[in-house]
């Protein structure tokens, strides 16, 4: 029985649910019996089954369940919420072995799930592929541990380093990236809980900010503004009288239970997060187009961990040092 290999499969299952489970984490789980995987599951949308339950419900033979090992990326919940505790379901089905990726830092769980299982004579192994499971659950962990959303900065820039022309007369976004890169951006949006722009970007571009080119799993939309004339019901306003710090913006998002946010601009909003050192990832699309005269793109320093090309667009992923 290769714990790492089976946990890797759970991680892959959890990735399938990314963006569709908020405010719950995107957990993956499976049942292993007699040398093979007999059932798999991942967390559904809020109010529906967690990953463990979806895996368990697919096995009708109670005797097989008793002899199976449950693998799960995150500690099973031990409290009543929209659904009953997963720990009780594991106990009631008499599953005797559980392998867990990482503990759940949520104060409603935080070791109680593991304690419940062990106190009921269930063999529990923890910290299997710990770093990989932390990466899968980085949004949830950041929200729980740092009391702020996981922050992703995103922008497209021209080859000569501009984020937009000086004047945008048609009140729609000026497309720097190609259509395939834009579809990728819509995939990114579908995976995050919220999306944030500044008031100037809202006025200049009238952006839609949805994931229509991917799967229509849209994030909640926020605009940072003190403009009282902005009364768009599709956007939630973060109001300010004086300049807000990134910490203050994150505090407002945290109050709205936003676990992850993709910040799409403009330069002033992006630079606020960069200068305050509050960001987790940056995703930068550099086009082969030139603008010659425009608004300079943000300057950022971090560690590049992925680079690839989509036609003539260069995509760069960075993490903060």
Select which of 52, 75, 252, 264 is catalytic.
52
- The answer to whether 30 and 98 have CB atoms below 8 angstroms apart is no
Q: What are phi and psi of 103, to 5 degrees?
A: -70, 155
Counts for the chain of helices (H) and strands (E), in that order: 11, 15
Number of Cβ within a 10 Å radius of residue 157: 24
By DSSP bridging, strand 235-238 and strand 294-296 are unpaired
DSSP string covering 16-46? HTTTSSTTS---EEEEEETTEEEEEEE--ST
- Rg from Cα positions in the chain: 22
C-alpha 277 chain-centroid distance: 19
Active site residue 52: yes
Please list, in sequence order, all residues whose beta carbon lies within 8 angstroms of the beta carbon of residue 139, skipping any fewer than 6 positions away.
25, 149, 150, 192, 193, 259, 260
Nearest to 23, CA basis, from 50, 59, 62: 50
Measured between alpha carbons, how far is 111 from 252 in angstroms, rounded to an integer? 29
DSSP string covering 251-273? HHHHHTT--EEEE---HHHHHHH
CA distances 42 to 67, 184, 202, 247, 292, Å, are 21, 23, 36, 33, 48
Bridge partners for 124 per DSSP? 98
By DSSP bridging, strand 281-286 and strand 150-157 are parallel
Positions annotated as catalytic residues are 52
């Amino acid at each position: 029985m290769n714990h790492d290999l089976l946990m890797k499969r759970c991680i892959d299952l959890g990735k399938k649910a990314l963006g569709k489970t908020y405010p719950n984490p995107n957990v993956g789980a499976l049942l292993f019996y007699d040398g093979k995987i007999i059932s798999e599951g991942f967390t559904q949308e809020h109010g529906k089954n967690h990953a463990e339950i979806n895996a368990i419900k697919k096995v009708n033979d109670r005797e097989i369940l008793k002899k199976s090992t449950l693998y799960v990326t995150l500690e099973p919940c031990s409290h009543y919420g929209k659904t009953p505790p997963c720990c009780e379901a594991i106990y009631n089905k008499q599953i005797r072995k559980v392998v867990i990726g990482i503990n759940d830092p949520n104060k409603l769980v935080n070791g109680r799930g593991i304690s419940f299982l062990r106190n009921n004579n269930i063999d529990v192994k923890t910290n299997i592929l710990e770093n990989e499971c932390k990466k899968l659950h980085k949004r949830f962990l950041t929200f729980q541990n740092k009391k702020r959303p996981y922050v992703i900065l995103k922008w497209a820039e021209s080859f000569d380093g501009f984020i937009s022309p000086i004047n945008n007369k048609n009140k729609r976004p000026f497309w720097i990236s190609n259509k395939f890169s834009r579809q990728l951006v819509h995939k990114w949006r579908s995976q995050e809980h919220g999306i944030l722009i500044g008031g100037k970007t809202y006025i200049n571009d009238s952006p839609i900010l949805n994931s229509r080119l991917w799967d229509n799993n849209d994030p909640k939309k926020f605009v940072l503004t003190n403009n009282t004339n902005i009364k768009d019901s599709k956007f939630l306003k973060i109001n300010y009288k004086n300049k807000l710090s990134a910490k203050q913006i994150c505090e407002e998002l945290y109050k709205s239970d936003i676990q992850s946010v993709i910040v799409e601009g403009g330069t002033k909003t992006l630079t606020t997060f960069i200068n305050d050192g509050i960001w987790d990832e940056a995703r930068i699309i550099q086009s082969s187009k030139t603008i010659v005269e425009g608004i300079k793109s943000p300057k950022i320093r971090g560690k590049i961990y992925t680079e690839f090309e989509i036609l003539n667009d260069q995509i760069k992923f960075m993490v903060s040092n």
